[in-house]
Amino acid sequence: MPQKSDIEEVCVKENRIFEGKILSVRNDEVRTPSGHLASREVVEHKPAVGMLVITGRQSVLLVRQYRYAVHEETLEICAGLIEKGEDPYAAAEREMQEELNVKAAKLHRIGEFYASPGFCTEMFTLFAAEELTESSLPQDDDENVSVFEIAFADIPIMIREGKIRDSKTFAALSWLMAKEGIAPEV
């Protein structure tokens, strides 16, 4: 196995292009392990959480919302940014109350992953939420989400038909299918 120093690229010059509310963009000049100079475009993104909210009815709760970047309405697991100094569990609880009007007695961390490590620093923490009770907080001013319930049995069909196109949702539902022994549609 190669040592980290054998594969790591070293930043020679950092060039900040944009500083935003939730992300920043830079174009770094790096030296590759072979000594060549290369350009790396990087999106620095705040960490986020996503919750696979499982009802007691063999179904999951998703949110439907319009996503301007892709100009379409998407079905997604409940998700949001972790605020500065906020614990991921607290962020998960807050987001479920804002988007789904529920609180979970059981909130289990499934894992962490990079949203798109080829260019983005966003670290995503994925949770499974169960044993739901009603509890709400106001939705963010810039959000317009509605709740959509999907039966476990419909998940493989929706994935096959391309109705689930969001990566965090695809990952969460695939995890659930593996856990529950739900066969994928072919």
The ranges assigned to domains in the chain are 4-45, 48-180
Q: Check residue 186 and give its pLDDT.
A: 67
- Distance (Å) of CA 21 to CA 18, 30, 46, 75: 10, 26, 9, 24
Q: Check residue 5 and give its pLDDT.
A: 65
Q: Are 106 and 30 in contact (CB under 8 A)?
A: no
Q: Hey, is 15 helix, strand or coil? A: coil
Q: Are 177 and 156 in contact (CB under 8 A)?
A: yes
- Cα-atom radius of gyration of the chain, to the nearest Å? 19
Q: What's the whole-model pTM score? A: 0.89
Fold of 48-180: Nucleoside Triphosphate Pyrophosphohydrolase (3.90.79)
Please give the full DSSP string across 20-57, using - where no structure is assigned: -SSEEEEEEEEE-TTS-EEEEEEEEE--EEEEEEE-TT
Distance CA 30, CA 184 (A): 42
H/E stretch holding 13 reads strand 10-13
Q: With a cut of 50, which residues of the chain have pLDDT below it?
A: none
Distance CA 55, CA 123 (A): 26
Distance CA 62, CA 122 (A): 21
pLDDT, tens digit (0-9, with 9 covering 90-100), for 35-76: 999 999 999 999 999 999 999 999 999 999 999 999 999 999
